[in-house]
């Protein structure tokens, strides 16, 4: 096993065993510089597929420059790059890792970038955004379903929340129950729940949700 493969295997093992915010921050700070290389080698497809779902629900081929987007758990900025390709110009990124944010800043796709712990209150005013998008963050050892309340709070009434959720945590981590409760309470409408693959070579293993705030 070469050094890169060994390092990647170590990072992955640590990622799925995360049990604290400080451990997550340390891991992603260490991984930041090589993270995109790993995703490219894996054929990571979540960002493109999530933005495709967003465009389908708003029934447009591109995003208007006036659309305000919050990229929650923005990492190195891969989602921001896809959003920018589709016309978005007002993208704010938030992430736990300063190292990841430093990589995202190099993309020049974000209007602002901020270090934020998604297990706590998001430091944004109510109804600040037309779209909240969260890709690859709601997963094992990372952020749980409680953050959906914050996404709904900061998105405008009639705005859209798009989130990727692996099947491995859909039931086990309580995402299914949380979505059912949000629907029952009338806080959101379910626009789409698409079965997708995380990688370009796969077609299943996760879902992309699109919710409209009521």
pLDDT band (50, 70, 90) for residue 29: confident
Centroid of chain to Cα 73: 5
pTM greater than 0.75? yes
Exposed / middle / buried, residue 101 (Cβ in 10 Å: 0-12, 13-18, 19+): buried
Q: What is the pLDDT of residue 9?
A: 58
Contact call for residues 86 and 62 (beta carbons, < 8 A) = yes
pLDDT band (50, 70, 90) for residue 4: very low
Contact call for residues 24 and 142 (beta carbons, < 8 A) = yes
Q: Is 3 helix (H, G, I), strand (E, B) or coil?
A: helix
| 128-167 pLDDT tens trace | 999 999 998 998 777 999 999 999 999 999 999 999 999 9
SS (H, E, C) 38-83: HHHHHCECHHHHHHHHHHHHHCCCCCCCCCEEEEECCCCCHHHHHH
């Amino acid at each position: 096993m070469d050094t890169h493969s060994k390092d990647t295997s170590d990072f992955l093992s640590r990622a799925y065993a995360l049990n604290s915010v400080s451990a997550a921050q340390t891991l992603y700070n260490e991984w930041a510089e090589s993270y995109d290389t790993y995703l490219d080698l894996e054929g990571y497809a979540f960002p493109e597929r999530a933005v495709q779902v967003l465009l389908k629900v708003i029934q447009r081929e591109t995003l208007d420059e006036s659309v305000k987007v919050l990229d929650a758990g923005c990492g190195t900025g891969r989602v921001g790059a896809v959003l920018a390709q589709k016309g978005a110009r007002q993208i704010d990124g938030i992430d736990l890792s300063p190292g990841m944010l430093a990589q995202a800043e190099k993309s020049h796709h974000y209007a602002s970038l901020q270090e934020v712990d998604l297990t706590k209150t998001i430091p944004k005013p109510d109804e600040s955004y037309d779209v909240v998008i969260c890709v690859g963050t709601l997963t094992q050892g990372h952020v749980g379903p409680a953050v959906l309340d914050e996404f709904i709070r900061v998105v405008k009434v009639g705005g859209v929340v798009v989130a990727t959720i692996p099947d491995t945590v859909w039931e086990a981590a309580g995402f299914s129950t949380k979505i059912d409760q949000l629907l029952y309470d009338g806080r959101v409408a379910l626009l789409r729940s698409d079965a997708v693959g995380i990688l370009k070579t796969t077609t299943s293993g996760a879902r992309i949700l699109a919710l409209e705030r009521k």
